[in-house]
Amino acid sequence: MADLSQFDPNSVGLKANNIFGLPFTEADAALVLVPVPWEVTVSYRAGTADGPANIFDASLQVDLYDPDVTDGWKKGFYMQPVDTEMQNVSTALRNAAEQIIASLEEGDEEASIELHDELAEINNECTQLIEQVRSTTGNLMRNGKKVGLIGGDHSTPLGYIKALSDIHSDFGILQIDAHADLRNAYEGFTYSHASIMYNVLKEVQQVSKLVQVGIRDYCDEELQVIQNSNGRVTTFFDKNIKERQYEGETWKQICLDIVNALPQKVYISFDIDGLDPKLCPNTGTPVPGGFEMEQVFYLFKLLHASGRELIGFDLNEVSTGGYGDSIDSITGARVLYKMCNYMVA
């Protein structure tokens, strides 16, 4: 246990401490946060690889009192150092991916053929990343730690979800997102950020239910996956949520429907673009619409009140567009803190 006798939770966040200015080490923290600074396959704007570091910096501005989970921080949150080698590999592969994406957008089939080796290398490196994340998160959980993952793009948590499947025989995913992420190898990248949930459904049979919330940007192919899932996927589209509210239903009623669609054990996958883009204007692919932050926190509150067990979470696609002190990282830090608290509640 950490000695908190000299720690003042009302004081300024100390940079010498860890995430949220907390004085915990990995050994004495109940929850360990794993940063994955990876954004090889982002299809519009880059910057998410800097998300973990920028969220860490912004976290020092978060006050520790949480009325929903008071004193949760006392159980200990610790963020591992950002792996700069991983981020360097991501940057190098991202340059190759940009050439592939450009050739597709320009309809240049000859260039696409010439880039075949680069595509194969990217797919291979993404496979290796999945196994690295699976090993890291799995070892932490076997050592009795609760785990949260901070991306990077939305491809990053697949290894963690696989590690959870090594421990839990049945669980559901609550996905907060603007996008369905059900594309099959989008732009030729097997493990594209736009394919994360397609790959989860295909490769992780222990995920018995995927409940998507806030989806407002998707294609015919993805809608077919939802419709042909035999109930394994339930999607609460942003349009339908808003129409239900326009017609008099409360957000509480809708949240209860969302929670009731989930099994006992739940993993939260939070793509920051599920929020209104005014809160995350620099995210990779912003989409008009979405939620206020407190709406999602209320959903988490009802999820917790239902007695369901939160077994893990990820936060991804937080990009600052080169501005480390933008609203994006501040929003990300607050979303992260709320999920950390519910994880140890």
Render pLDDT for 217-248 as a digit per residue (tens, 0 to 9).
Answer: 999 999 999 999 999 999 999 999 999 999 99
Dump pLDDT digits (tens) for 253-266.
999 999 999 999 99
CB 197 within 8 A of CB 235: no
Q: For the segment 282-300, what is each residue's pLDDT rounded down to a tens digit?
A: 999 999 999 999 999 999 9
Could you read off the pLDDT of 125-174 as tens digits, one per residue? 999 999 999 999 999 999 999 999 999 999 999 999 999 999 999 999 99
With CA atoms as reference, report the closest residue to 211 among 241, 187, 244, 189: 241
Quick one: pLDDT band at residue 110, thresholds 50, 70, 90? low
Q: What is the mean pLDDT of the segment spanning 106-123?
A: 82
pLDDT digits (tens, 9 = 90+) for 31-71: 999 999 999 999 888 899 999 999 999 999 999 999 999 99
Strand partners, 83: none
Instruction: Confirm if 282 and 326 have CB atoms less than 8 A apart.
Output: yes
Q: Report d(CA 278, CA 271) in Å as an integer.
A: 15
**Per-residue model confidence (pLDDT) at position 77:** 98
Judged against a pLDDT cut of 70, whether residue 325 lies above it is answered with no
Torsion over CA of 196, 201, 204 and 210, rounded to 10 degrees? 90
* Average pLDDT, rounded, for the chain: 95
Place of tokens 């006798």: 5
3-state secondary structure of 79: strand
For the chain, the residue count is 345
pLDDT at 114 over 80: no
For residue 90, pLDDT beyond 80: yes
Please give the domain boundaries of the chain with CATH numbers for all domains. Answer: 19-344 (3.40.800.10)
Helix (H, G, I), strand (E, B) or coil at 36: strand
